[in-house]
Chain A
């Protein structure tokens, strides 16, 4: 099962430049044409499933607007 990830977009910073959109290996990023940021740009958003949390969008982002998360399995000891 591929790792499941997601991103959070800080709309104060995002300027809708789409550098992350073109580099996303899973093609799950697009501009949200229904929203405007305080600066007046359409912010980026996740479309559909498939984000693996690889972080390539954050490497491209000139504004450091993205926070990338990934779900990782963690062993938890259960008290008997």
Chain B
């Protein structure tokens, strides 16, 4: 026996992403979230029977980047559209990809009722504490004191209220099977986020009800920071307010070892 050295591929671009270049700003964690969902679709071999629902917001062009079936929903209505698709085609994997303006603001009614009805869909919620596409206005998830173009002196909770913790809110509903929060600011947390995305799809495959993964993300352009400073800002400011954790995990999921 002889030993030779051969090149082994450790990582390559997932097949569930198209060849299109993304329009996101450099360092935007939307790209990481897209990549993780695509990697999980590859690993589970579900690309051919997955249907995504794109939101309105920065990720409005998500249908150009995922190489699976995709539809575009009206602003905030992705969970309603996903409900219809899943009920008509129960053998498909249906997921929505939504930002905080889409899910926590205009689409608050749809998401709460989809979770309350226990619709068997998976929701990926990108929380970057600001409205990205419309140039950095205050979002429902903007932190107290955070400066945005529509709260130039910082979010004053006396007049503008408190940020919404969507994962905790939806976990209280009986229809929810898997609701967790993860972050995308370092390799460890990105690995944890990928496992959570996998478990969200597993929840749907097992028919355990509504699943949502909230992903803390950055918006370096509208936060006015560099991509690296944004990751630091996320870790220092967002995680204390939005703790990473599992808020609802159906008993049947606890046996799954990844």
Contacts of A17 in B (CB 8 A): 26-27, 227
Is A73 in contact with B31, judged by CB distance below 8 angstroms? no
B6's partner among A53, A56, A72 (CB-CB below 8 A) is A72
Closest residue of chain B to A71 (Cβ to Cβ) is: B5
CB-CB under 8 A for A19 and B27, given A12-B21, A55-B11: yes
Contacts of A22 in B (CB 8 A): 228
B170 contacts the other chain (Cβ, under 8 Å)? Answer: no
Nearest CB of A to B91, in Å: 29
CB-CB under 8 A for A59 and B3, given A10-B13, A16-B26, A67-B12: no
B28 contacts the other chain (Cβ, under 8 Å)? Answer: yes
Within 8 A of A (CB), among B12-31: 12-14, 17, 21-22, 24-31
A70 contacts the other chain (Cβ, under 8 Å)? Answer: yes
Complex: how many Å from CA A73 to CA B2?
10
Is B26 in contact with A70, judged by CB distance below 8 angstroms? no
Interface size on A, as a range, is 35 or more
B258 contacts the other chain (Cβ, under 8 Å)? Answer: no
Within 8 A of A (CB), among B24-80: 24-32, 35, 38
Is B21 in contact with A39, judged by CB distance below 8 angstroms? yes
Complex: how many Å from CA A15 to CA B221?
14
Is A18 in contact with B27, judged by CB distance below 8 angstroms? yes
Contacts of B24 in A (CB 8 A): 62
Is A68 in contact with B10, judged by CB distance below 8 angstroms? yes
Contacts of B27 in A (CB 8 A): 15, 17-19, 62
Complex: how many Å from CA A77 to CA B2?
6
B187 contacts the other chain (Cβ, under 8 Å)? Answer: yes
